[in-house]
Amino acid sequence: MEKERKIFFEKNDSLKEIEKDLRNAKEEKIIINIPRNSPMGRGIENFHRLIEVAEEEEKEILIESIDEHILELAGLAGIKAVNPVFRVRERAVSDIIPKPKKTKSASMRVEERQKEVIPQNTPEKEEREVGVPKYIPSKPKKERRIRQEGRRWVIYLSGAVILILGAGILLWSGLPKAKITLAVKKVSVPLEIQIEVKSSITTSEVGKDSIILPGELLVSKQNTQMMFDANTKRSVEEKATGILTVYNAYSSKSQSIVATTRFEAPNGKIFRLNEKTIIPAAKVENGKITPSSIKVKVTAEDPGEEYNLEAGLLWTIPGFKGTDKFEGFYAKNEDAMEGGFKGERFAPSDEDKLLAETAVETSLKNSLKTQIIVLTMEKFKSFDEASEFTVLNKKIQPLENEPEKFGVFMEGEMRQIAIDEEMLKKNIEENARLSIPSDSDVILSSLDFSYSDISADLGKGEMSFTISGNAVFSAKIDTETLIRDLTGVDEAELRRLVFALPGVENANISLWPFWVTSVPEKKSRIEVIVE
């Protein structure tokens, strides 16, 4: 258990609230801080009540207040009371004053305590006081007011002295200082430059009216699938589809097969080739043939679920039947043939399909665009006019577990040409310098330009646009060297050196404080601003 705790009360806190906090406190010694004009000052019985609660809770209490009236009442009640600011009115008391009987009135309790403090018929009153101070009337209000005003003046004077000393220290540590603001000559160069961007080059070429700039061709691919409601129930006939790996184990020559060429599964089901294909030549070494292969897309000859075939089947080409090629050319399906159906079910209308495809395409396009932005945001700059989105594959699929819905699968690609804008700015500066004398000692102070006429050929990885704006050059001032040359010089020499600088049109010189007549010796106290 902690031995001591201080409790602070607000101006409007009542005796009950103080009692409650006193009972809830776990510490043995409680310091009660009572503000000025508290309701506790309305009568001494409030402090007798505090004594009762303290005795019940076996706690020692002490009163703190800046209110003289509060301190007087607490002292009369026999509670140790002090002013926390000036530490006055501290009264010596022993332990908690014995609890008066509750049946007696407040006036009777005061009278008994006065009797206890000052026995009536005892000549040696001072020696018979046991831990309870006698009541000493407070000083007149006028005397207290004079004393308080005196203390207030001491505080004011102390604060003023501290402020003056602090200001003096700040002035001493910051003195002296010099500030030189230079207005230098400027040259503005208008810009109108044709930019050609090529992803096939790595270095720039800067001409008088044009710049050839390396570009970065960024390619991002992604696929996605989304589900949609199919609210129309109708008769549906769909053919199964899949992919076959066709092998040439026949000869070292390639073999061309036309679209709709038939492939037969072991169960006799026929699938037809979607588009014309050339089967590559087999590899023949020392009379031994190593088959070649190619993957092709095929579609079932008829609709129906019976064409949904398992993976790993061996297929033949009926068109080669009766020839040597029948054994030399064959196919296998690594994945199952799927999608065959015939009957009634929920299916999307043409409008449903169009809306769904548009939604999937928009989502895929935005996703790819975000990927491109992430790739370019740190170093490159890209343009919407120099990007191209292509749908590589799309498929509308029924969902077995959700017959009232359908899925749209889509694969897309985003191609984007981007430039290194920092490289472009350096090239623009180089181009602008061609318009000013080569012996001019100037630096680029500002560059402002905009892009227009943006066009791109994503197939070639090229882009072009026009730059329009202004490049502003200003006289070059070596501030570090200037500060070094100015240290310690007087004001007259300072002005001579500053106005002798090439390219300076005007200057504003300030030495601080006003009595300083030379530049500080320390470089850190000299500031040069070039405008």
Phi–psi pair at 85, nearest 5 degrees: -85, -50
> What's the token pair of residue 151?
């203390």
Other C-beta atoms within 10 Å of 358: how many? 11
Give 56-111 as a DSSP string: HHT-EEEEE-S-HHHHHHHHHHT--EE-TTT--S-----SPPPPPPTTS-HHHHHH
Question: Reduced to 3 states, what is the DSSP secondary structure of residue 425?
Answer: helix
Overall pTM surpassing 0.75 (yes/no) = no
Distance of alpha carbon 211 from the chain centroid: 38
* Residue 88, CB-side half-sphere exposure with 13 Å CA sphere: 13
CA distances from 91 to 45, 72, 261 (A): 19, 10, 117
Domains and CATH numbers, the chain: 4-138 (no CATH), 235-344 (2.40.30)
Instruction: Return d(Cα 530, Cα 528) in angstroms, integer.
Output: 7
Per-residue pLDDT of the chain (531 residues; tens, 9 = 90+): 457 888 888 878 888 888 888 898 888 899 998 998 888 888 899 999 999 999 998 889 999 988 889 999 998 988 999 888 765 444 433 333 344 444 444 444 444 444 444 444 444 444 344 444 444 444 455 555 666 666 777 777 877 778 777 655 555 555 789 999 999 999 999 999 999 999 999 999 999 999 999 999 999 999 999 999 887 777 888 899 999 999 999 999 999 999 999 999 999 999 999 999 999 999 988 888 999 999 999 999 999 999 999 999 999 999 999 999 999 999 999 999 998 989 887 778 888 889 999 999 999 999 998 888 887 877 789 898 999 999 999 998 877 778 788 899 999 999 999 999 999 999 999 999 999 988 888 999 999 999 999 999 998 999 999 999 999 999 999 999 999 999 999 999 999 999 999 889 899 999 998 889 999 999 999 999 998
Q: In what order do the strands lie in the sheet with 526-530?
A: 504-512, 177-184, 526-530
Strands 186-198 and 504-512: unpaired
Other C-beta atoms within 10 Å of 4: how many? 11
Q: In what order do the strands lie in the sheet with 380-398?
A: 216-229, 405-420, 380-398
Q: Which of 372, 340, 347, 172 is nearest to 269 (CA)?
A: 340
Q: Which of 263, 280, 285 is nearest to 272 (CA)?
A: 263
Q: Letter for the amino acid at 499?
A: F
> What's the token pair of residue 275?
């588009």
